Structure 1
Amino acid sequence: MLEIEDLCVEVAGKSVLDGVTLHLPPGELHVLLGPNGSGKSSLLASILGLPPYRITRGAIRLDGVPLTDLPLHERARLGIGMAFQRPPGLDGVSVSAFAEALGAGETLAREAAALDLTDFVRRDMNVGFSGGEIKRWEILKLFLQDPRLMLFDEPESGVDLEHVIAIGQAIRRMVRSPDRQDRPRAGLVITHTGLILRHVAADCAHIVRDGRLIHSGDPQTLFTHIQTHGYSVPDAA
């Protein structure tokens, strides 16, 4: 579904991604592991087309459609959605109004209960939410938007253990189910703590360091290696 080939990206003339190649098949969930500043969030932002990230070489394709020259809103229309780490608050836009505009009222009722957000549906989006509540809302937002390709930027960061379980189960349920047009989905998750790995049943993990994707493999095996040896290639440990 998602093909990234030899991707190089700059911000203000500084390289943040260098030659990244990654393939994400339909129906799969992949995880990005790496230290702070390694390029993980830059990769998600480049897929979505967020400024100020500028692609200088390589290609990104969704279902064979080149994304490199498409603006953000056209990428969203193709079916890319993102759960942000620090989204803005939207005064005057309630959660329920947002769901109604998307024709997703039934989804809101079902998934808000699963994510312990039923009491939030009349509140304005992200206004006065705690850090953990924002993370749960960002997952619920993706259910309402119904994207095919879902990008998750540290979905468990700042979330208590009980709700990490709920978020992980929601991500797994969303990635493994078809969208409203009965097309398979796929997901890409950034994690630092690794807690989310216990609940999402990821198919593959990738280590990103210094803007490069240096190794791919089994998620639990790689995370165990990182806990002992840091962000290194396992064969070289």
Structure 2
Amino acid sequence: MLEVKGLTVKAGDRIILEDISLTIAPGEVHILLGPNGSGKSTLLRAIMGMGDQEIVSGKIIYNGEEITRLTVDERARLGLGIAVQHSPALPEVRLRDLAGLLAERYGTSWRSPAQALNCEHLLDRGLNEHFSGGESKRAELLQLMIQNPRLLLVDEPESGVDLENIALVGEALNTLLKGEKIKERAKSGLIITHTGYILNYVNADRGYVLLNGRLVCEGNPRDLFEVINKRGFEGCLECATCKRIYGS
């Protein structure tokens, strides 16, 4: 499904990601952990082809095709989709109109996802105009569900979401990842999380810890999160055998 090989990314003169390699097989969901500023969002945006960062070296391969230099639109047509952490406000664009355009483009429906995400009351408002953090996140996930991509890149789906709606968001994301197994090929995902709440709803196969732009640990995501809760992210640097312990 997705292979990232030796990816190094910079913004201006600063290296943000260095020699990143990972593989996500069809149907697998991987979790990305790391402190603020470690490069997590940059990695997702680089995979999607977003932003003004520069890929210095390495390759991004999707379903056997190198997509390193493709545009965002070209990657979306191949089946990649992203839900970012912070979306800009577009008061002149109603969420209903955007949802309708996306549904027409991808041959899907927006009504069922809007109901599942409990965001029908947002449809006639300008996109992200005075939305709370949770409302903005649900609007972002609505767009992703309408697109119905094969590979989901999701940046902190629980960020800004109150406890009452975390289950709603988690279950909606899990439903999207599972799809209709009889009719659809398996979807894959790469999800950033700070709180770990999403692990209660999504069956994650593998986890990574990103520190200072480098992957330093990988393994069972629940085990990794437990270690981080006890020792902090820096504890990963102290564990020279972390890959052997968690499996690689």
Alpha-carbon distance between aligned partners in 1 of 2:100 and 2:161, rounded to the nearest angstrom: 27
* Offset at residue 178 of structure 1 (A): 5.2
* Secondary structure class of the residue paired with 1:91: strand
* Offset at residue 123 of structure 1 (A): 2.0
> For 1:1-237, what aligned pairs fall within 5 Å after superposition?
1-103=1-103, 107-177=109-179, 182-231=184-233, 232-233=235-236, 235=241
* Secondary structure class of the residue paired with 2:87: coil
**CA offsets per residue over residues 62-120 of structure 1, 9 Å max, x none?**
11111111122211221211111110122232222222223369732212122111212
Alpha-carbon distance between aligned partners in 1 of 2:120 and 2:70, rounded to the nearest angstrom: 36
* Contact 2:103 2:147 (8 Å CA) reproduced: no
* Offset at residue 187 of structure 1 (A): 0.9
Instruction: Please provide the CA RMSD for this pair.
Output: 2.1
Q: Which amino acid aligns with 2:85?
A: Q
Alpha-carbon distance between aligned partners in 1 of 2:148 and 2:108, rounded to the nearest angstrom: 13
Alpha-carbon distance between aligned partners in 2 of 1:30 and 1:127, rounded to the nearest angstrom: 32
Instruction: Tell me whether 225-234 or 134-143 shows the greater mean CA deviation.
Output: 225-234
**CA offsets per residue over residues 137-194 of structure 1, 9 Å max, x none?**
1111101112111111111111111211111111111111159x83321111111111
Alpha-carbon distance between aligned partners in 2 of 1:3 and 1:190, rounded to the nearest angstrom: 17
* Contact 1:12 1:52 (8 Å CA) reproduced: no
* Secondary structure class of the residue paired with 2:109: helix
**CA offsets per residue over residues 19-58 of structure 1, 9 Å max, x none?**
1111011111111001111111110011011222111111
* Contact 2:90 2:127 (8 Å CA) reproduced: yes
Instruction: Tell me whether 133-142 or 65-74 shows the greater mean CA deviation.
Output: 65-74
* Secondary structure class of the residue paired with 2:9: strand
* Secondary structure class of the residue paired with 1:103: helix
Q: Which amino acid aligns with 2:8?
A: C
Alpha-carbon distance between aligned partners in 2 of 1:44 and 1:178, rounded to the nearest angstrom: 25
In structure 2, stretches of 5+ residues that fail to align are none
In structure 1, stretches of 5+ residues that fail to align are none
Instruction: Tell me whether 94-103 or 68-77 shows the greater mean CA deviation.
Output: 94-103
Distance 1:9 1:92, change over 3 A: same
* Secondary structure class of the residue paired with 1:56: strand
* Secondary structure class of the residue paired with 2:196: coil
Q: Report the identity percentage.
A: 42
Alpha-carbon distance between aligned partners in 2 of 1:49 and 1:229, rounded to the nearest angstrom: 34
* Offset at residue 10 of structure 1 (A): 0.7
Q: TM-score, normalised by structure 2?
A: 0.89
* Offset at residue 128 of structure 1 (A): 2.0
Distance 1:146 1:106, change over 3 A: closer
